[in-house]
């Protein structure tokens, strides 16, 4: 995984291929298919590793602090790697639940009903994915606005 992420960082998502990674690893391209069924499986594994590296401790006492840390952690993980946001959005398009799950759990612990938790988590994920290149201060202010809206709903 480490080398695959290095290739992503050096060459970008469009240039990342099974052949390029195999060449960088000094193996035949077919050797990678023993570990990944196809390029999509490789990309999924890379996205999972990027997200794992950016994860934050769960279940912080205040739900809004937890949500803020989760969102900042996701953004940091995406920004740490070239095309990280594009890769994570592409891989998780079909399974957004994986990104939403910890946010939904935090909102439910705060007392959100299932619909508010679902929509709130989805809104937060989409917000982070679409604002990953904002200046840190702008991102923080915009995230605070979203959290203010959730606090008002949880009232």
Note the CATH architecture for domain 1-154: Orthogonal Bundle (1.10)
Candidates 13, 65, 71; CA nearest to 42 is 13
Percent of the chain whose predicted confidence (pLDDT) is above 90 = 35
| Per-residue pLDDT reduced to its tens digit, 15-32 | 888 888 888 888 888 888
Residue 116, pLDDT score: 97
| Per-residue pLDDT reduced to its tens digit, 55-88 | 655 555 688 988 999 899 889 888 888 888 888 8
Burial (CB count within 10 angstroms: exposed 0-12, middle 13-18, buried 19+), residue 29: middle
Percent of the chain whose predicted confidence (pLDDT) is above 70 = 92
Residues 6+ apart with CB under 8 A from 55: 73, 77
Q: What are phi and psi of 154, to 5 degrees?
A: -80, -20
Q: What share of the chain is helix, strand, coil (3-state, %, to 5)?
A: 70, 0, 30
pTM of this prediction?
Answer: 0.69
Sole residue written with tokens 């006492």 = 61
């Amino acid at each position: 995984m480490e080398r695959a992420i290095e290739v992503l960082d050096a060459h970008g998502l469009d240039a990342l291929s099974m052949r390029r990674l195999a060449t960088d690893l000094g193996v035949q391209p077919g050797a990678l298919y023993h570990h990944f069924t196809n390029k999509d499986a490789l990309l999924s594994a890379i996205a999972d590793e990027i997200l794992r590296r950016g994860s934050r401790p769960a279940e912080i006492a205040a739900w809004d602090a937890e949500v803020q840390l989760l969102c900042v952690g996701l953004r940091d993980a995406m920004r740490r790697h070239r095309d990280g946001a594009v890769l994570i959005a592409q891989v998780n398009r079909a399974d957004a639940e994986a990104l939403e799950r910890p946010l939904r759990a935090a909102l439910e612990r705060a007392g959100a009903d299932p619909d508010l938790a679902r929509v709130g988590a989805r809104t937060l994920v989409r917000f982070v994915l679409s604002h990953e290149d904002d200046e840190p201060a702008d991102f923080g202010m915009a995230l605070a606005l979203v959290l203010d809206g959730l606090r008002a709903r949880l009232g």
